[in-house]
Amino acid sequence: MKITVVGAGAMGSLFGGLLAERGHEVTLVDVNAAHLQAIQSQGLRLHTDQSDRHIRALRACRPDEADGVPDLVLVFTKTLHTASALAGVAHLIGPETHVLSLQNGLGNVEVISQHAALGRILLGVTTWPADLVGPGHVHSHGQGVVRLMSADGRDRPFVATVAQALDEAGLACTVDAAVWTAIWEKVAFNAALNSICTATQCTVDQLGAIDDGPALAFCVVDEVLAVAQAQGVTVHADACKARVADAIGRHVGHKPSMLQDVLAGRRTEIESINGAVVAAAAAHDIPVPCTRTLLQIVRLVQARQAGTAPAGSVIH
Ligand code: NAD
């Protein structure tokens, strides 16, 4: 397959690198000049539990340098950059090109549908972890899975082709008609842990210091899953809360990506997680006070970090 990865940071590099190793024609498209240059000169350094190697059989370039029409565009920007990233590669998306998003959050299909018909959009979730540890250098450890489906819910042959390609690349991928369940449960998990950690600057395990931490997280999970159910999505609250409790118990020292983004002065994915839940809740008239308050606090934290909040104001 001819595959263009748009947003080749931690996840895009991991997926693009593994697909290239399986013989697919992969182009990594990104705007991070140092990362692109490192891959162009030394290949992509991929450090997994199995090995630490350089993958050279792929191309890496800026959006305006990318050419040719791929069979598949794999979108792996942070959600706040999806619209601009797809606009930057719009010249690559032909009538037969499919677009796959495994990004976190809600609203990904809506953004992609500006560039591709619903029947050519694939969406899913992945539990693979990845970190960009330096330019051209990605680290992934442990095990994950990928679940995907066609955005229009239909049984389409190309979806199985993509799933097979990802599976053969070692990414444990299955076609799954219940992807919306997994998406909403992951949104609930992230809406709770990412936003509370970002608002409090606690690591995930520190939320367990007092009962209020898990209690607030479970409150957010209940709110998010109530909205999912109002949208007609089947969800499993007990299993989702068990994953949240497990993370608080075991993810010692872990800073969720949203907290890492704030600490690095970057904008976060809060709008496509808590923000999208609050918007969907309003449409169904469902109260989501904890999710909304955390959204507002993270927006404030983000504004302060970005320097858009007044500096040094004194409250008299
Ligand atoms: P990342 O920040 O490492 O990578 C995103 C990349 O997009 C960056 O390299 C950035 O330069 C690039 N980018 C930004 N604007 C662009 C543009 N206009 N054109 C092209 N490229 C552009 O992020 P990530 O950790 O790989 O996460 C990507 C998505 O996957 C997010 O939605 C995240 O929530 C989700 N996710 C991440 C993980 C993880 O462990 N990292 C796991 C599951 C899901």
Same domain, 54 and 165: yes
Instruction: Tell how strand 2-6 and strand 25-29 pair up.
Output: parallel
Tell me the pLDDT of the chain (316 aa) as tens digits.
999 999 999 999 999 999 999 999 999 999 999 999 999 999 999 999 999 999 999 999 999 999 999 999 999 999 999 999 999 999 999 999 999 999 999 999 999 999 999 999 999 999 999 999 999 999 999 999 999 999 999 999 999 999 999 999 999 999 999 999 999 999 999 999 999 999 999 999 999 999 999 999 999 999 999 999 999 999 999 999 999 999 999 999 999 999 999 999 999 999 999 999 999 999 999 999 999 999 999 999 999 988 776 655 444 3
Select which of 2, 78, 186, 241 is catalytic.
186
Query: Of the residues 143, 177, 211, which one is the last residue of a structural domain?
Result: 177
Claim to verify: residue 173 and residue 241 sit in the same structural domain: no
Other CB atoms within 10 Å distance of the CB of residue 97? 18
CA 10 to ligand 1 centroid distance, Å = 6
Do 39 and 150 lie in one domain? The reply is: yes
**116 domain-assigned:** yes
Task: Answer yes or no: 186 catalytic.
Answer: yes
Within a domain: 29:
yes
Q: Quick one: pLDDT at residue 306? A: 81
Q: Are 139 and 157 in a shared domain?
A: yes
The answer as to whether 114 is a domain residue is yes
Q: Kindly state whether residue 312 falls inside one of the protein's structural domains.
A: no
Atom of ligand 1 nearest to the CA of 130: 40
Q: Are residues 117 and 189 in the same domain?
A: no
Ligand 1 pocket: which of 78, 173, 186 to mutate (most atoms within 8 A of CB): 78
User: What's the confidence (pLDDT) of residue 316?
Assistant: 36
Looking at the structure, tell me whether residues 162 and 203 fall in a common domain: no
Contacts of 146 (CB under 8 A, 6+ apart): 102, 124, 125, 126, 128, 163, 166, 171, 172, 173, 174
Contact 43, 166 (CB under 8 A): no
Residue 268 within any structural domain of the chain: yes
Asked if the structure places residue 239 within a domain, the reply is yes
pLDDT of res. 312: 56
44 vs 26, 47, 56, 131, 238, CA distance in Å? 12, 10, 6, 13, 40
Which candidate, 114, 119, 144, 108, places its Cα nearest to that of 10?
Answer: 144
Best residue among 73, 76, 270 to mutate for probing ligand 1's pocket (most ligand atoms within 8 Å of CB) is 76
Domain of residue 282, CATH code: 1.10.1040.10
Last residue of a domain, one of 177, 205, 231: 177
Total domains in the chain come to 2
Where residue 57 sits, what CATH number does that domain have?
A: 3.40.50.720
Of 159, 177, 195, which one is at a domain's C-terminal end?
Answer: 177
Smallest CA separation from ligand 1 atom 34, residue = 104
Range(s) of the domain holding residue 237:
180-306
Return the residue matching tokens 């619903």: 118
Residues 37 and 148 in one domain: yes
Residue 270 sits in the same domain as residue 236: yes
Do 34 and 45 belong together in one domain? Answer: yes
Looking at the structure, do residues 157 and 84 belong to the same domain, yes or no?
yes
315: in domain? no
Task: Please tell me if the CB atom of residue 107 comes closer than 6 angstroms to any atom of ligand 1.
Answer: no
Q: Give, for 139, the enclosing helix (H) or strand (E).
A: strand 137-139
Q: Quick one: 124 and 201 in the same domain? A: no
What pLDDT sits at residue 95? Answer: 95
Same domain assignment for residues 190 and 302: yes
Query: Quick one: tokens of 271?
Result: 């709008």
Decide if 240 is inside a domain.
yes
Q: How far apart are CA 106 and CA 179, in angstroms?
A: 12
Closest to 219 in 3D by CA, of 241, 203, 197: 241
Question: pTM of the entire structure?
Answer: 0.96
Q: Is the CB of 84 under 6 A from ligand 1?
A: yes
- Residue 108 CB burial class (10 angstroms; 0-12, 13-18, ≥19): buried
